[in-house]
Amino acid sequence: MVWVTKVFTWTLAYLSHIVQAFTHSAAFAEVATWQVDLINAGPAFSPAATYGQYTVCTYTGYAAVTVAASGPVYASPMSIAALVLAEFLSIAGSPYVPDTAIGYVVSDGAGNLVGGEMFATPQPFDIPGRFLSLSVLLPLSGFVTP
């Protein structure tokens, strides 16, 4: 399965950190390495959400993905975004532990939630070999390219 961002919700605390980084020269490296986790439980995303509100998947072979976001990319002629690519795969095991992902979270790897998104339909990891390829477009609202 391939998923491309539909509606990513930023947390307010992290968005202010990103705004500060972008307003101080090329400080994008400060905010460009993130951890992506699939989740199987948690509330709808809101700007006040926290990492602890979500339960990370535990299917056989699951591992969080630590990625470097791309530098700013054009999301439209008047806005920019960061692009994060993450791949998830279930593997054979005895016993195989299934799970179902309902969305994903992006964090700084230290338990601070950057934001996330719920999938339109749950993504099952019910047999070995199931995969999910995420293309997460993190919109940087309010930024206009020079």
pLDDT tens string 36-51: 999 999 999 988 899 9
3-state SS of the chain is CEEECCCCEECHHHHHHHHHHHCCCCHHHHHCEEEEEEEEECCCCCCCCCHHHCEECCCCCCCCEEEECCCCEEEECCEEEEEEEEEEECCCCCCCCCEEEEEEEEECCCCCEEEEEEEEEEEEECCCCCEEEEEEEEECCCCCCC
pLDDT in tens, 105-144: 988 888 888 889 999 999 999 999 999 999 887 776 654 4
Among candidate residues 36, 35, 54, 39, the one with its CA nearest the CA of residue 100: 39
What residue numbers bound the domain in which 92 lies? Answer: 2-23+31-139
- Residue 146 is assigned to a structural domain of this protein: no
Core vs surface per residue 106-131: b (16+ CB within 10 A) or e:
bbeeeeebbbbbbbeeebebeeeebe
* 103 domain-assigned: yes
Tell me what pLDDT residue 44 has: 92
Nearest-angstrom CA–CA distance, 134 and 52: 22
Q: Is residue 144 part of a domain?
A: no
Structural domain total, the chain: 1
Does 145 reside within a domain?
Answer: no
Note the pLDDT of residue 95: 92
Q: Is residue 48 part of a domain?
A: yes
